[in-house]
Each structure stands twice: as structure tokens, then as C-alpha cells.
Amino acid sequence: MRYRDLLAQSREDKEFQEIIKDLVANPEVQKMKNFRVHGYTTCYFHCYSVAYYCYLACKKRGLDYKSAARGGMLHDLYLYDWRVKNSHLRPHAFTHPFTAYQNAKKQFKLNWMEKELILTHMWPVTFFTIPLCYEGIILTFIDKKCAFYEFMSSLRYRFIRAAHA
Ligand SMILES: [Fe+2]
Ligand SMILES: [Fe+2]
């Protein structure tokens, strides 16, 4: 199934929507719509995609899909534009999981797995923060898969725009 179709499917998935309902209604989480993460993709859309893919992958394998979906939705709640100098602790790739965790725990009561998923999602870039559960390993792969797709989509869009300029 294509990425776009899968996201359309997520809107019809009542259980998934119920799991992330309080997260997406939160004003801090909504702020992610103001920051781009990979190419033209907003942080919010990236987290939403990761959350839905994690939900499906973990549900299929009999894992804790609720925590996986919630951890996915919050994993990049760092709330700054990493392209803007001095807006954040550097290097972004290493520090943002901790910033996202600090922001998330101010807004929500996180369970240990949600905390774990946020803090370890950059593995293996952050070599020493190894995911300690299957859900965490799944999230690290899905995060990178979504990031790659988002980056490639932006490149494609740029080429098309340049070709028609
Ligand atoms: Fe991240
Ligand atoms: Fe991410």
C-alpha cells in the first residue's frame, strides 16, 4: 500500500484515532505543525506517519501497539527549527530525543515504553541509547523509512518545480 493511501486509511481507523486523541488535541503537539523536519514535511506530519506505521507494525506482531503509537506521535516533540542557528542544543541529531522527552513529560503522563521510544529513536546514530524493547527497534526503522520517503518526496517536488520554472 502506498504511503498516501496508508495515511488516508489512518483517518478511518477509529482505534488509532482514539489512542492518539488526547495527544493531537494538545496545543504543544499542534505546535509541531510550525516546524519542518525533512524537506517540506512538518514535524507533526512526520510524527503522525511514524505513529501510524508503528501502530500497524506492532499490532500485527502482538506487541504494545498503543504505547508504540503514542511514543511515535511524541518522538520528535522538540519544538524548534533545527535549521535555525542557536535555537537548540547541538548537535541536533544527538540532543533532540532528550528535548522531545522533556517537552512530552511536561504535557503527558508517559509510561516507561513511551519514554523509552522517545529517548532511543535515533539509534544507531546515538550509539549508546539502544532500544530495549521490540517496539523501540521497530520505531527506529520506521522513523528512518518515513524520513527517507519525506526527503525523497521533497526532492521530487523540487525537481518538478524546477522543470516547470
Ligand atoms: Fe528524531
Ligand atoms: Fe523522527
Residue 89 has pLDDT above 80, yes or no: no
Architecture in CATH for domain 3-163: Orthogonal Bundle (1.10)
Band of the pLDDT at 1, cuts 50, 70, 90?
A: low
Give 110 Cα–ligand 1 centroid separation in angstroms: 18
Give 32 Cα–ligand 1 centroid separation in angstroms: 12
Cα angle at 33 between 96 and 158, to 5 degrees?
Answer: 90
Residue 123 has pLDDT above 90, yes or no: yes
pTM value is 0.92
Tell me how crowded residue 39 is: count the other CB atoms within 10 A of its CB: 16
Give 57 Cα–ligand 1 centroid separation in angstroms: 19
Sign of CA dihedral 89, 94, 99, 100: positive
Give 43 Cα–ligand 2 centroid separation in angstroms: 8
Give 15 Cα–ligand 2 centroid separation in angstroms: 23
Q: Can you give the pLDDT at residue 11? A: 92
Given the C-alpha cell 507533526, which residue does it identify?
A: 44
36: left (phi over 0), alpha (psi -120 to 50) or beta: beta
Give 143 Cα–ligand 1 centroid separation in angstroms: 8
Question: What is the overall mean pLDDT for the chain?
Answer: 92
Domain boundaries, the chain: 3-163
**Mean pLDDT of the 139-145 span:** 96
Helix (H, G, I), strand (E, B) or coil at 34: helix
Residue 132 has pLDDT above 90, yes or no: yes
Residue 163 has pLDDT above 90, yes or no: no
